[in-house]
Structure formats: structure tokens, C-alpha cells
Amino acid sequence: MPRPKQQYVAVLPDGTEFFADAEDGNDVCEQAVRKAGLTTPRANRQKVKVGLFQLVIRDGKLDRRPCGTKEVMPFLERMTENEYDAEIAEQLSELPEAFHGFVRNHAYEHGHSSGFEEMIGIANELISNLVPCVKEYAIYLRNNR
């Protein structure tokens, strides 16, 4: 049976307050960070410290009961072209150079409209499917010379 919802306020580092009803205050902290659009750099990921308070009525007045500070990992900033180039180069290092152009072109054709992150995901999936085949083919060539 779900716990009854409580009223919480999450306070972001800049003082912005986010009010919500939730079963768990941690959810309120995560919602606050997401709704505020906070992001973290890809290279140096930083969590956001969010103050959490439960709202209670004490002596007929609304009061804040401290629930502590929660650390929330915000979404990553959008990938830059330089970050994309570095990450795709690292992924492509798993394959012979003859496949690099194919993988880059396939990732671009199927993912560029959704951004670098999507292109990386497509390349990663393609590489993970190609690597075992390339290794098996290399063994076949060695054994049949």
C-alpha cells in the first residue's frame, strides 16, 4: 500500500523553491532539479545539493521541518562537437580503420537530427554488433591461409 503523500519544499542552491506533494521527498528534489533545467558538464559531473523540508502545520501555522540535504545528479549538458569527436574516436578504436567511415556515416544518417548523443548511441550499438563478427572473420582468415 503506498504511503500517504506529504507536502514538501525543495530549495535549490540559488534559493529557488519548488513545492510538491509526494510520498518521498527525494522525488521532490529530483523534480526540482529537472524543472529548473539544471545540467552538469559531461567531463566534470557535479551533483546539485538540494535542501528538503516537509511542510507541517504546527500551532495553526505552516512550518518547515528540515529533512536534510539531498544530492541530485542533473541531466548532462548537450554534447559538443569536440566531445563527440573524442567519444566516437574512442569507440571506433575497437574496429579496424576500414569500418570507421561506414560507422560514422551510418550514425550520422540515422541520428544527426536528434543530436550527438543519439549518434553516439547508434555508433555504439553498431560497433558492439560488428566487433564479434570482425574478430570471428579475422580468426577465419588466419585459419584458412
Q: What is the pLDDT of residues 103-142, one digit of tens each?
A: 999 999 999 999 998 999 999 999 999 999 999 988 888 8
Asked whether 75 and 39 are in contact (CB, 8 A), the reply is yes
Residue 64: pLDDT band with limits 50, 70, 90: very high
Q: Domain containing 63: what range? A: 6-76
Q: Is 1 inside any structural domain?
A: no
Counting every residue written for the chain, the total comes to 145
Shared-domain flag, residues 53 and 89: no
Q: Which three cell numbers stand for residue 29?
A: 528534489
- Asked if the structure places residue 63 within a domain, the reply is yes
**Chain mean pLDDT for the chain:** 91
3-state secondary structure 89-121: HHHHCCCCHHHHHHHHHHHHHHHHHHCHHHHHH
Q: Give burial (CB, 10 Å; 0-12/13-18/19+) of 118.
A: middle
* CA–CA gap between residue 94 and residue 125 (Å, rounded): 13
Same-domain status, 44 and 18: yes
Coil, strand, or helix at residue 49? Answer: strand
Residue at a domain's end among 58, 76, 94: 76
Residues 93 and 123 sit within 8 Å (Cβ to Cβ) = no
Please, which pLDDT band fits residue 50 given cuts at 50, 70 and 90? very high
In contact, 50 and 15? CB cutoff 8 Å: no
**Pairing state between β 75-76 and 39-40:** parallel
The residue out of 46, 76, 106 marking a domain boundary is 76
Cα–Cα distance, 81 to 135 (Å, whole number): 30
Q: For residue 12, report the phi and psi dihedrals to the nearest 5 degrees.
A: -80, 165
Boundary residue ending a domain (50, 76, 102): 76
Domain count, the chain: 2
pLDDT of residue 141: 87
